[in-house]
A and B are shown apart, each in its own frame.
Chain A
Amino acid sequence: MIRRTIGFLCLALSATLALAAVSSPLLLHVPPKDHARTNPLAGDPQAANAGALIYRDHCMQCHRADAMGDGHKKPPLRSDRIKSATDGDLEWFLRQGDLRHGMPSWSSLPETQRWQLVTYLRSIQ
């Protein structure tokens, strides 16, 4: 019975890891609906200040205080890639994350705070 239970646990773990390895490829394209969304707080200096605090609390540990990343796995946030993305793209990416490549999903932050963060990211470009 013990052997069967341990076998079942190993099988469940293997299946989970296999599923994690093959499911959804890296997302390169934001859905058009999200791409077209506009930031309700765009250009608001108060939102940028609040976004700076959110950045300090959640993002700085990986992307560094100057938002230039670690030069390795954690990319810079002052970049052409961020400049060319729409606000909708950035909010969508914050919500989704990129779990396979180490970027957590920030869906746990309220949407208003994600827009505040996008406003801050725009202000430092």
Chain B
Amino acid sequence: MHCRTYSLLSVAAALLITLWLPSSAHAQEKPYFVTYSHDLEEPGNLEIETKTALARPDGGGHYGATAMELEYGVRAWWTSELYLDGQATSQDSTLYTGWRLESRLRPLMREHAINPVLYIEYENTSGADKTILEVVGHDGQSDLAELNGETRREHQHEAELKLILSSNLKAWNISENFISEKDLSHAPWEFGYAVGATRPLRTAASESPCTFCAEKFIAGAEAYGGLGDTFSLTLRDTSHYVAPLVGWQLPKGMRLSFSPGYGLTGSSLNRVYRVGLAFEIPQVSGWFRAHNGGMQ
């Protein structure tokens, strides 16, 4: 109950924020939850997005974990993002679980068949974080089944590096991510992967505004999982998921996405459902220039 209320509250809060905001632009990003493509935020734009994961680990209660993302286009080749994480577990508690700060940089200024992006992240979270924004090392559902009272005492100061490779071929986007993560205490490097492909249901735009036309929907799938760590570079006790995706570009620059994920190994959650709601605010940087007497 706790968990359902939390999920409803987070979606309602995101809806309120998006309805309150006056203007809009359409986000161009794909409906991936774990995989990153080489699409960066447009310079000066701010995207607010919530990504909620709903699951129930064996031996634990139902939970809902939300990451609220504030993504800003610093340059056309550089995007920065702040994440604020929280979760609620049934028969347990609701709590804030920490923050992450990341930057994505495109080192090559031209579009190529395969476009690399470098991803650098610092995260300061507690062991109670259940957002599953990536799966690395030997992450498993047993980590998610522990009581919040115990896991919240465990502090994680982690650095994460990703190599994102992404291609736009015809109307398809195909992306591959190689993930390495290191707890900044004496812990091994952990590795993981995420791959995904998406395509709009129709490639041509309609000549009149519409909400339910096929080009507003993007469908695809992603797969992600852990690849062990430097102490145990093996697939034993690693989690792997495959997840169909659907994204819907709503009016007023909002985007809704949904993905049911299916665990493929004994360590994986049996199912994890993800819901995302995004809203893009165009040219936020212009607001500050206007307030300073500059040109908007």
For residue A110, CB closer than 8 A to chain B, the reply is yes
Residues from chain A with a CB closer than 8 A to the CB of B170 are 110-111
Q: Are B282 and A53 in contact (CB under 8 A)?
A: no
A interface residues with partner B (beta carbon < 8 Å): 1-2, 5-6, 9, 12-13, 16-17, 19-20, 23-24, 27, 46-47, 49-51, 53-54, 57-58, 61-62, 70-72, 95-113, 116
Interface residues of B in 141-186 (CB under 8 A from A): 159, 161, 168, 170-171, 173, 182, 184-186
Partner among B77, B161, B185, B203 whose Cβ is within 8 Å of the Cβ of A12: B161
Asked, given contacts A99-B76, A105-B111, A108-B173, whether A116 binds B205 with beta carbons under 8 Å apart, the answer is: yes
Q: Are A107 and B171 in contact (CB under 8 A)?
A: no
Residues from chain A with a CB closer than 8 A to the CB of B62 are none
Partner among A2, A53, A97, A109 whose Cβ is within 8 Å of the Cβ of B206: A53
Q: Are A20 and B109 in contact (CB under 8 A)?
A: yes
Across the A-B interface, the 7 shortest Cβ-Cβ residue pairs:
A110-B203, A49-B207, A61-B282, A110-B171, A99-B76, A57-B26, A50-B205
Residues from chain A with a CB closer than 8 A to the CB of B39 are 108
Q: Is the interface of B mostly helix, strand, loop or mixed?
A: loop
For residue B2, CB closer than 8 A to chain A, the reply is no
Could you list 12 further interchain pairs (A-B, Cβ under 8 angstroms) beyond the known A99-B106, A113-B203?
A: A1-B184, A13-B105, A49-B208, A50-B205, A54-B205, A58-B25, A95-B111, A100-B77, A102-B43, A112-B205, A113-B205, A116-B204
Residues from chain A with a CB closer than 8 A to the CB of B25 are 57-58, 61
- A95-B38 Cα distance, complex, nearest whole Å: 13
Q: Are A96 and B295 in contact (CB under 8 A)?
A: no
For residue B81, CB closer than 8 A to chain A, the reply is no
- A104-B75 Cα distance, complex, nearest whole Å: 9
For residue B120, CB closer than 8 A to chain A, the reply is yes
Residues from chain B with a CB closer than 8 A to the CB of A46 are 207
Residues from chain A with a CB closer than 8 A to the CB of B205 are 50-51, 53-54, 112-113, 116
Interface residues of B in 233-269 (CB under 8 A from A): none
- A24-B108 Cα distance, complex, nearest whole Å: 7
For residue B136, CB closer than 8 A to chain A, the reply is no
In the complex formed, the residue of A with least CB distance to B172 is A110
Partner among B28, B77, B110 whose Cβ is within 8 Å of the Cβ of A108: B28
What are 30 contact pairs spanning A and B, CB under 8 A? Answer: A9-B159, A12-B118, A12-B161, A13-B103, A16-B107, A17-B105, A47-B207, A50-B207, A53-B205, A58-B25, A72-B295, A96-B111, A99-B77, A99-B109, A100-B76, A103-B76, A107-B111, A107-B168, A108-B29, A108-B30, A108-B39, A108-B168, A109-B28, A110-B171, A110-B203, A111-B203, A113-B204, A113-B215, A116-B204, A116-B205
Residues from chain A with a CB closer than 8 A to the CB of B111 are 95-97, 105, 107
In the complex formed, the residue of B with least CB distance to A117 is B205
Q: Are A112 and B204 in contact (CB under 8 A)?
A: yes
Q: Is the interface of A mostly helix, strand, loop or mixed?
A: helix
For residue B293, CB closer than 8 A to chain A, the reply is no
Q: Are A50 and B109 in contact (CB under 8 A)?
A: no
- A22-B208 Cα distance, complex, nearest whole Å: 43
For residue B40, CB closer than 8 A to chain A, the reply is yes
- A101-B209 Cα distance, complex, nearest whole Å: 31
Q: How far is the CB of B47 from chain A (nearest CB, A)?
A: 13
Partner among B43, B110, B173, B209 whose Cβ is within 8 Å of the Cβ of A96: B110
- A63-B42 Cα distance, complex, nearest whole Å: 13
For B66-91 the 0/1 string (1 means CB < 8 A from A) is: 00000000011110000000000000
- A5-B182 Cα distance, complex, nearest whole Å: 8
Q: How far is the CB of A53 from chain B (nearest CB, A)?
A: 6
Residues from chain B with a CB closer than 8 A to the CB of A12 are 118, 120, 161
Q: Are B43 and A16 in contact (CB under 8 A)?
A: no
Q: Are B110 and A24 in contact (CB under 8 A)?
A: yes
- A47-B293 Cα distance, complex, nearest whole Å: 40
